[in-house]
Amino acid sequence: MGKQYSKYFAPSLKDARKRVNKKTENLKFSIPDNLIGLGNKLKYHLKTYGCQGNIADSEKISGILELMGFTPTDSDEEADLILFNTCAIRENAENRVFGELGRIKSLKKAKPNLILGLCGCMAQEEKVVETIKRKHPQVDIVFGTHNIHKLPEYLADAYLQKERVVEVYSQEGDIVEDIPVKRGHLKKAWVDIMYGCDEFCTYCIVPYTRGKERSRLPEDIIREVETLVSEGYIEVTLLGQNVNAYGKDLQIEYTFANLLDDLNKTKIKRIRFTTSHPRDLDDETIRVMAKGGNIMPHLHLPVQSGSNTILKRMNRKYTKEEYLEKISKLKKSIPGISLTTDIIVGFPGETEEDFEETLDLVRKAEFEGAYTFIFSPREGTPASKYEDSTPQITKKERLLTLNKLINEGFARGNKKFENEIVEVLVEGASDKNEEIMTGYTAHNKVVNFPGNLSMVGSIVSVKIEKAYTWHLKGKIVK
């Protein structure tokens, strides 16, 4: 006899596509007193897949678990709770998780009290929940991206009532403030500024798994950044699937440019943000970026394709020419800005000419790095039904050709810094050598230099001696 469900509420991608006109509530996190201590003497292993949004969610999940008394472990064998915070963006991300779930089945036999959980974007897909029900009954808890704050309740059901929980909301939740966060880094912090996405690019699952766009209140974001400063943090990365849409849903007139401007006045030394949308990135934002200050001269601006036909079918709402124009404005306003991007090859119907357009755009834009992907059809999205006759081998060849060009750009971007003095936020020792420190410049370039561990967490000046494809090498200047 399997365990009974205490809750069973499965997702629906169809419902998730709807955008209802419901006002977002700003709630405060709370936890029943009797659940604090539930995790005493128990260990958790949290495995995170996917984007920075998921990393930030995992910091909240860890915060909640540690408030409940759980302690972290990296070992599946030691863990009393194994939780997968999953990503649904491409098929291979999902296959990895299913592989892992199968592998840890045997652990559950050896340790009957072990609780297995799955959350994040995969949990938002009905297909995934069905597969878990049929093939992975060893999973005790499934919850989605909108109800992380209810984790204590689900753990109580699993540990105390010995019941299974599947609770995934398809309609977006509210904004829950004050969830405890266990930051993964001592000097650099992720700060969510908004949740969800309303863009509905035709290939993308995110608007379904993350719900509609909801902005946090500016005062909550500014307060979080000021607290981080007081705790010794040096860098924040503002997170949203389309940060340029920040504020559009607020009751007040307040935009992403306003937020950047206000954060520019705080004492945080470095501000980064991701991800920007080429259509929504406005002149006002460029103007605030041009002020410099603590806003770093690097922008990740995913273009996805250089072909206007493909961009249209992707529902990206800009042309190659408009994209290049925006880039030229950025370069003029912020001299030396480093630009990186995301590109998908093999979108359904992409011809050799379309692909050539992408290569042409890459050359003209002079990107200094890119994440490149082969299109992966996601069930429930429009593009998964588009006719696609390009053989996989051709798509792989296109990816290789593109990557070669991107890597040249990466090397060229690094070369600019030879003989320059750059400011490096020191991360730690390099993997291979304790006496070589590594860190990031304002332009987000990796620098290796001789130093010692006492420098970790500070910003030092380094003179670059040599540029390589993936990193720079230099010496500290006194």
Taking CB under 6 A as the criterion, the residue among 64, 148, 204, 239 binding ligand SF4 is 204
> In this structure, are residues 167 and 17 in contact, taking their beta carbons and an 8 Å threshold?
no
Q: Is 443 in the site for ligand SF4 (CB under 6 A)?
A: no
Among 100, 342, 356, 408, binds ligand SAH (CB under 6 A): 342
DSSP 8-state class, residue 51: S
Site residues for ligand F3S, window 107-126 (CB under 6 A)?
120-121
Task: Note whether 210 binds ligand F3S by CB under 6 A.
Answer: yes
d(CA 248, CA 256): 9
Angle at 439 between CA 435 and CA 442, to 5 degrees: 150
Q: How far is the CB of 368 from ligand SF4 (least distance, A)?
A: 21
Q: Which stretch binds ligand SF4 (CB under 6 A): 27-35, 202-210, 285-293, 366-374?
A: 202-210
Q: Which residues touch 398 (CB under 8 Å, ≥6 apart)?
A: 345, 346, 350, 355
Nearest one of 412, 421, 411, 406 to 465, comparing CA atoms: 421
Q: Which is closer to ligand SAH, CB of 150 or CB of 398?
A: 398
Residue with tokens 């993350």: 210
Helical (H) or strand (E) element with 434: none
Task: For residue 53, state whether it binds ligand SF4 (rule: CB under 6 A).
Answer: no
Q: Which of 373, 408, 436, 471 binds ligand SAH (CB under 6 A)?
A: 373
209 binds ligand SF4 (CB under 6 A): no
For 65, 147, 432, the CA distances from 152, given in Å and listed in that order, are 8, 11, 41
Per CB under 6 A, does 406 bind ligand F3S? no
Question: Does position 56 bind ligand SF4 by CB under 6 A?
Answer: no
> Please, are residues 324 and 286 in contact by the beta-carbon 8 Å criterion?
no
Smallest distance from ligand SF4 to CB 278, Å: 10
Candidates 49-57, 152-160, 267-275, 278-286 — which segment interacts with ligand F3S by CB under 6 A? 49-57
Q: Among positive and negative, which fits the CA dihedral 330, 331, 336, 340?
A: positive
- Measured distance CA(241)–CA(176) in Å, rounded: 18
Beta bridge partners of 473: 448, 466
Give the Å distances, CA to CA, from 13 to 18, 123, 196. Answer: 9, 11, 14
Q: Which of 159, 246, 375, 440 binds ligand SAH (CB under 6 A)?
A: 375
Q: Which of 234, 239, 344, 459 binds ligand SAH (CB under 6 A)?
A: 344
Please select the residue that binds ligand F3S; options are 179, 205, 271, 301, rule is CB under 6 A.
205
Residues that bind ligand SAH (CB under 6 A): 89-90, 203-204, 206, 241-242, 275, 302, 304, 342, 344, 373, 375-376, 378
Residues that bind ligand F3S (CB under 6 A): 50-51, 53-54, 87-89, 120-121, 205-206, 209-210
